Chains A and B, each alone.
Chain A
Amino acid sequence: MSKVLVVTSGKGGVGKTTSSAALGAALAQAGKNVVVVDFDVGLRNLDLIMGAERRVVFDLVNVVQGDAKLAQALIRDKRVETLSLLPASQTRDKDALTPEGVERVINELREKFDWIVCDSPAGIERGATLAMRHADMAVVVTNPEVSSVRDSDRIIGLLDSKTAKAEAGETVDKHLLLTRYDAGRAARGEMLKVEDVLEILAIPLLGIIPDSEDVLKASNVGSPVTLHNPMSAPARAYAEAARRLLGETVAVTMPVEKKSLMSRLFGRSVA
Chain B
Amino acid sequence: MALIVVPEPPFEAWLTALDQQMARSAGFFIDRPIVVNLAAMAGTDDDPAQILAALEARDLRIIGVEGVEMAALRGTPWFGATLAASGREGKQDKFIDIPEAAEPSPPEPPPPEPARRPSLLITRPVRSGQSIVFEEGDVTIIGPVSSGAEIIAGGSIHIYGTLRGRAVAGLLGGAEARIFCTKLAAELLAIDGLYRTADHWGHGLHGKPVQVWLDDKELRLAALE
Instruction: Tell me which of B124, B125, B128 has the highest count of chain A C-beta atoms within 10 A of its own C-beta.
Output: B128
Distance A39 CA – B60 CA, assembled complex (angstroms): 57
Contact string against A for B residues 116-150, beta-carbon threshold 8 Å, 1 for contact and 0 otherwise: 00000000110111100000000000011011100
Is B127 a contact of A157 with CB atoms below 8 Å? yes
In the complex, whether B61 has a CB less than 8 A from a CB of chain A is no
Is A153 a contact of B148 with CB atoms below 8 Å? yes
Minimum Cβ distance to chain A for residue B151 (Å): 14
In the complex, whether A150 has a CB less than 8 A from a CB of chain B is yes
Is A154 a contact of B144 with CB atoms below 8 Å? no
In the complex, whether B158 has a CB less than 8 A from a CB of chain A is no
Please name all residues of chain B whose beta carbon is closer than 8 Å to the beta carbon of A151 when the two chains form the complex.
128
CB contacts under 8 Å to B, within A125-177, are: 146, 150-151, 153-154, 156-158, 160
In the complex, whether A261 has a CB less than 8 A from a CB of chain B is no
Is A154 a contact of B143 with CB atoms below 8 Å? no
In the complex, whether A202 has a CB less than 8 A from a CB of chain B is yes
Is B128 a contact of A153 with CB atoms below 8 Å? yes
Is B148 a contact of A150 with CB atoms below 8 Å? yes
Please name all residues of chain A whose beta carbon is closer than 8 Å to the beta carbon of B129 when the two chains form the complex.
124, 153-154, 157-158
Is A154 a contact of B128 with CB atoms below 8 Å? yes
Minimum Cβ distance to chain B for residue A3 (Å): 23
Is A157 a contact of B130 with CB atoms below 8 Å? yes
In the complex, whether B178 has a CB less than 8 A from a CB of chain A is no
Is B164 a contact of A200 with CB atoms below 8 Å? yes
Q: Which of B125, B147, B162 contacts A150 (CB 8 A)?
A: B147
Please name all residues of chain B whose beta carbon is closer than 8 Å to the beta carbon of A156 when the two chains form the complex.
125, 127
Please name all residues of chain B whose beta carbon is closer than 8 Å to the beta carbon of A160 when the two chains form the complex.
124, 127
Please name all residues of chain B whose beta carbon is closer than 8 Å to the beta carbon of A150 when the two chains form the complex.
128, 146-148
Distance A200 CA – B148 CA, assembled complex (angstroms): 12
Please name all residues of chain B whose beta carbon is closer than 8 Å to the beta carbon of A124 when the two chains form the complex.
129
Is B147 a contact of A202 with CB atoms below 8 Å? no
Distance A157 CA – B129 CA, assembled complex (angstroms): 8
Is A153 a contact of B147 with CB atoms below 8 Å? yes
Distance A150 CA – B147 CA, assembled complex (angstroms): 7
Q: Which residue of B lies closest to A152 (CB)?
A: B128
Please name all residues of chain B whose beta carbon is closer than 8 Å to the beta carbon of A153 when the two chains form the complex.
127-129, 146-148
Q: Which residue of A lies closest to B148 (CB)?
A: A150
Minimum Cβ distance to chain A for residue B92 (Å): 63
Q: Which residue of B lies closest to A171 (CB)?
A: B124
Please name all residues of chain A whose beta carbon is closer than 8 Å to the beta carbon of B125 when the two chains form the complex.
156, 202
Counting from the closest, the 10 A-B pairs by CB-CB distance are: A157-B127, A153-B128, A154-B128, A154-B129, A153-B146, A153-B127, A157-B130, A150-B128, A150-B147, A202-B125
B-side interface residues toward A, CB under 8 Å? Answer: 124-125, 127-130, 143-144, 146-148, 162, 164
Q: Known contacts A157-B130, A160-B127; can you find 12 more A-B pairs with CB under 8 A?
A: A124-B129, A150-B128, A150-B147, A153-B127, A153-B128, A153-B146, A153-B148, A156-B127, A157-B128, A199-B144, A200-B147, A200-B164
Could you list 13 examples of A-B contacts with CB < 8 Å? A146-B147, A151-B128, A153-B129, A153-B146, A154-B129, A156-B127, A157-B129, A158-B129, A199-B144, A200-B147, A200-B164, A202-B143, A202-B144
